[in-house]
Amino acid sequence: MLEIKNLTVIFNEGTVNEKKAVDHISFTMNDGDFVTVIGSNGAGKSTLLGAIAGNVEVTSGEILNNGYNMTHEAEHKRAQYIGRLYQDPLKGTAPHMTIEENLELAYSRGKRMRMGLGGRKEDEKLFEAACAKLGLGLEQRMKSEVGLLSGGQRQALTLLMATLQTPELLLLDEHTAALDPVTSNKIMEITENIVNEHHITTLMVTHNIENALKYGNKTLVMSQGRILKILEGDVRKNMSITDVMKLYNNTGDALSDSAILG
């Protein structure tokens, strides 16, 4: 269970450039929850994910993972149990290493050096099988350099790397935004399959409202560093894209809080 308690992130505090990017946010994710996050540019979505991943310093509030207070834990330590994907397919993989080498690197992350014979061959089989599941033909190209792959193939590989050792949390920040619509759909299907298969607690930021409603079981609507609304259950199921757009239209400074916060 992930608990976000009264989380606030202020950039450049006390300077003229002070910016409260996340403003007293609280919410809880149960194990296996797949939560989508939407909201206009600058709403604080990436900052929220950064605070959870540890590359953004938290100003106040707490983040608890299964009761463990990780609010100020070093990013590299969290990386052992948090998988993360960004919009840019070039992030997250080493371009001059092969698919196999990239997977090996991800697989051994956080583990001690494994000893014994045969381990490597077994790993190779495991990687090949995992790639085959993606349905992109990567299993035929295990010795190819990752830099030669298309953006979609690369993003699929990054997803595999982030989940090969099942993470406790998966953070996806617009991970299909740079892909063409067909590839984007394919990556979303792969994402859903992996998340469901391993029951991974997942937080996914997207500007694609259709995907935000279609995937996962809850949607957070963010504006100006705050959560305007949490959509779930029947309300979410019956929500149209137009309904969600209306929420967006109501998120300006003239925001009618009572109408939106319910």
Ligand X SMILES: Nc1ncnc2c1ncn2[C@@H]1O[C@H](COP(=O)(O)OP(=O)(O)OP(=O)(O)O)[C@@H](O)[C@H]1O
List of residues contacting ligand X (CB under 6 A): 11-12, 19, 21, 39, 41-47
| Closest distance to ligand X from the beta carbon of 198 (Å) | 26
Closest CA to 157 of 87, 106, 195, 220: 106
State the number of binding residues for Mg ion (CB under 5 A): 1
CB 140 within 8 A of CB 75: no
Which residue, 23 or 101, has its beta carbon nearer to ligand X? Answer: 23
| Closest distance to ligand X from the beta carbon of 207 (Å) | 6
Which residue, 46 or 153, has its beta carbon nearer to Mg ion? Answer: 46
Say how far apart CA 157 and CA 97 lie, in whole Å.
13
Say how far apart CA 52 and CA 179 lie, in whole Å.
25
Closest CA to 48 of 226, 244, 228: 226
| Closest distance to ligand X from the beta carbon of 45 (Å) | 3
Among the residues of the chain, which ranges form H helices? 45-53, 75-78, 99-108, 119-134, 151-163, 181-198, 209-214, 233-237, 241-249, 257-261
> Taking CB within 5 to 8 Å according to partner kind, which of Mg ion, ligand X, none is near residue 47?
ligand X
> Taking CB within 5 to 8 Å according to partner kind, which of Mg ion, ligand X, none is near residue 43?
ligand X
Which residue, 14 or 118, has its beta carbon nearer to ligand X? Answer: 14
> Taking CB within 5 to 8 Å according to partner kind, which of Mg ion, ligand X, none is near residue 32?
none
Q: What residues contact 31, with CB distance under 8 A and at least 6 apart?
A: 1, 199, 201
Which residue, 46 or 224, has its beta carbon nearer to Mg ion? Answer: 46
Closest CA to 72 of 7, 154, 169: 7
Site for Mg ion, residues 25 to 84, rule: CB under 5 A: 46
| Closest distance to Mg ion from the beta carbon of 46 (Å) | 3
Which residue, 46 or 158, has its beta carbon nearer to Mg ion? Answer: 46
> Taking CB within 5 to 8 Å according to partner kind, which of Mg ion, ligand X, none is near residue 61?
none
Which residue, 86 or 215, has its beta carbon nearer to ligand X? Answer: 86
Which residue type, as a one-letter code, is found at position 209? Answer: I
The answer to whether residue 176 forms part of the interface with Mg ion (CB under 5 A) is no
> Taking CB within 5 to 8 Å according to partner kind, which of Mg ion, ligand X, none is near residue 27?
none
CB 100 within 8 A of CB 123: no
| Closest distance to ligand X from the beta carbon of 114 (Å) | 38
| Closest distance to ligand X from the beta carbon of 224 (Å) | 9
187: helix, strand or coil: helix
Say how far apart CA 57 and CA 53 lie, in whole Å.
10
**Contacting residues toward Mg ion, per CB under 5 A:** 46
